[in-house]
Amino acid sequence: MLSIGALAKRTGTKVQTIRYYEQIALMPEPGRTEGGQRRYGDAARHRLAFIRHSRELGFSLNAIRELLELSDSPERSCAQVDAVAQRQLREVESHIARLGALRAELSRMVSECKADRVADCRILEVLHDHEECLSDHHRPDN
C-alpha cells in the first residue's frame, strides 16, 4: 500500500492532481489508515497511470471518464472505445492543421520583414492589421 506522496512519486503526478481526480470521481476514494491517511494499492496506481497516459495523448477528462467506464466493463464492445479514440484523433488532426496554418503565417511574416526600424516592421504591421493575416481563424469576420 502506498501513501498519496508515494503514489505521486511513482506515477509522476502531483498530490493535488490525485486529490482532484478523486474529487471528480476519476479515481475512487482510497482506503484510509486509522489515522486518516490515504492508502493506495496496485489498482489505484494502474488507474492513475491510465489517466496520466490518456492526458498525455490529449484526451479530455470526460473522454477519460468514458474510457474508464468502458474499461471497467470488459464485456462491452470495443467499438465504443474505438469511437472515443477516433474522436480524439480527429481533434489532434484538426489541431495539427491549425498549427500548420499558424506556422505558415509566422514564417511568411518573418520572411517578409526586412525592415531596419520598428516603424517599418512588417511583423508588427501584420499583427496590428488582421486583414493582412492569411490565416482564416484570425480574420474579424470568422
State the CATH number of the domain containing residue 27: 1.10.1660.10
Residue 141 — very low, low, confident or very high, per pLDDT cuts 50/70/90? low
pLDDT digits (tens, 9 = 90+) for 6-47: 999 999 999 999 999 999 999 999 989 889 899 999 999 999
Give the C-alpha separation, 127 to 118, whole Å: 13
Do residues 100 and 51 share a domain? no
Give the C-alpha separation, 79 to 101, whole Å: 33
Q: Would 67 be classed as within a structural domain?
A: no
End-to-end, the C-alpha distance of the chain in Å comes to 54
State the pLDDT at residue 121: 83
Q: Give whole-number Cα distances, 55 to 64, 71, 106, 131, 139, in Å.
A: 8, 16, 28, 36, 31
Q: Would 34 be classed as within a structural domain?
A: yes
- The answer, yes or no, to whether residue 135 has pLDDT greater than 80, is no
Do residues 84 and 125 share a domain? yes
pLDDT digits (tens, 9 = 90+) for 70-126: 998 889 889 999 999 999 999 999 999 999 998 998 888 888 877 788 887 878 887
On the CB side of 50, CA atoms within 13 Å amount to 20
Q: Would 107 be classed as within a structural domain?
A: yes
Q: Which residues of 20-58 are buried (b: 16+ CB within 10 A; e: fewer)?
A: ebbeeebbeebeeeeeeebebeeebeebbeebbebeeee
Q: Would 69 be classed as within a structural domain?
A: no
Give the C-alpha separation, 37 to 50, whole Å: 23
Domain containing 85 equals 78-138
Do residues 84 and 33 share a domain? no
| pTM check: above 0.75 | no
Residue 134 — very low, low, confident or very high, per pLDDT cuts 50/70/90? low
Q: Would 41 be classed as within a structural domain?
A: yes
Do residues 44 and 82 share a domain? no
If one counts the domains in the chain, the total is 2
Amino acid at 30: P
Do residues 20 and 48 share a domain? yes
Q: Would 66 be classed as within a structural domain?
A: no
Q: Would 48 be classed as within a structural domain?
A: yes
State the pLDDT at residue 7: 95
Instruction: Considering only residues 54 and 116, tell me which one the structure prediction assigns the higher pLDDT.
Output: 54
Give the C-alpha separation, 54 to 68, whole Å: 10
Q: Would 72 be classed as within a structural domain?
A: no
State the pLDDT at residue 133: 60
